[in-house]
Chain A
Amino acid sequence: MPIDKSLVGKTGKPFTVPIEWSKVREFARAIKDPNPVYFDPELAKKECGGIPVPPTFLQVAAFWQDADSVPTAHFDLRRILHGEQEFEFYKPILVGDVLTGTAKITDVYERAGGRGGKMTFMVTEIEYKNQKGEKVAVARSTLIETGQAVGG
């Protein structure tokens, strides 16, 4: 894909993320985390004030959106790599919360790669607010399109 600087600043349509217990439990199982706070509502209430979410759970929210909510470059799926992911948390996120996420492309750039040849990087930031309008988290991801298949 030729580099397209005009993508920078592109913002998606805000999307709604209800934080649901079933999804939280399913996610905790998938990452092999047996922490009882994800599975026992009484204990979770006592320890955390409610059922919390695993630190990387917001990744789920990003994947379930329509194309117009998560602006992206048209990367070749055979050559895509997730380079970096960062989460910052400002307020607790608990089951029952309804978050609103807004995604924005913050950078697009090219770099000479190693075995992958020329690489294109895209940085996307999603800001999440809760139902009270409080900023609860920011998720920042870097996707890379490599010059050749990624598993060689």
Chain B
Amino acid sequence: MASRVKYDSVKVGDSIPTVVIENVARPDFVRYAGASGDFVPLHYDQTFVEAAGIPTVFAQGMWTAGCLSRCLTDLAGAGNVRRFKVRFARQVWPGDTLTCRGKVTNKVERGGEKLIEGEVEVVNQKGEATVKGDFAVVAA
């Protein structure tokens, strides 16, 4: 599983591939519920969320994190991610447009592997971070 990214060609501060998700919609959450098995009703049941005092259903954090993970697999290839950690900062609502992006913060050789480490985030159309995270991928 050779990595797509060359260790020597990456510098700290470099951007990694960006993914834009336009116009997030309720069917995205329903599809993710079915795919993942996450049936917490906050993400698809409007009656339930209104009764809880929440204006509308919102995305599963792990759906957003999944969209973000593509930045890493686009960078290094699927199977070359060693660590991916996310913190959920803010809900993603129907109608949002998301930009998933990141940058390299460190290069290190560990356990016989050349690793590229960095930070990632998902920001909405107002520039607010909804998910923040960090990662390590293997480089060639």
**What is A's interface to B at a CB cutoff of 8 Å?**
23, 26-27, 29-33, 35, 37-38, 47-49, 52-56, 59-60, 63-64, 77-89, 92-93, 148-152
Contacts and interface: CB of A to CB of B under 8 A. Distances in A.
Given A32-B21, A149-B53, A85 B35 contact: no
The 10 A-B residue pairs with the shortest CB-CB distance, nearest first, are A151-B54, A63-B37, A31-B66, A30-B35, A86-B85, A78-B52, A52-B79, A52-B78, A55-B69, A149-B53
Given A26-B34, A56-B66, A60-B37, 19 more contacts: A27-B66, A30-B31, A30-B35, A30-B36, A31-B32, A31-B66, A32-B70, A48-B1, A55-B72, A56-B62, A82-B61, A82-B62, A83-B87, A84-B86, A85-B62, A86-B85, A89-B81, A89-B83, A151-B55
Interface of B: 1, 21, 28, 31-32, 34-42, 48-49, 51-56, 58, 60-63, 65-67, 69-70, 72-74, 77-79, 81-88, 91
B52 A149 contact: yes
28 contacts: A27-B35, A27-B66, A30-B32, A30-B66, A31-B35, A32-B70, A35-B70, A52-B79, A54-B70, A54-B78, A56-B69, A59-B38, A59-B62, A60-B35, A60-B36, A64-B37, A78-B52, A82-B61, A82-B62, A84-B87, A84-B88, A85-B86, A87-B81, A87-B83, A150-B52, A150-B54, A151-B56, A152-B53
Contact of A30 (B21, B63, B82): B63
Contacts of A54: 66, 69-70, 73, 78
Contacts of B37: 60, 63-64
Given A38-B78, A60-B37, A84-B87, A31 B67 contact: yes
Give the interface centre of A29, A81, A82 by most chain B CB atoms within 10 Å.
A82
Nearest to A141: B62
Contacts of B36: 27, 30, 59-60, 63
Give the interface centre of A79, A80, A83, A151 by most chain B CB atoms within 10 Å.
A151
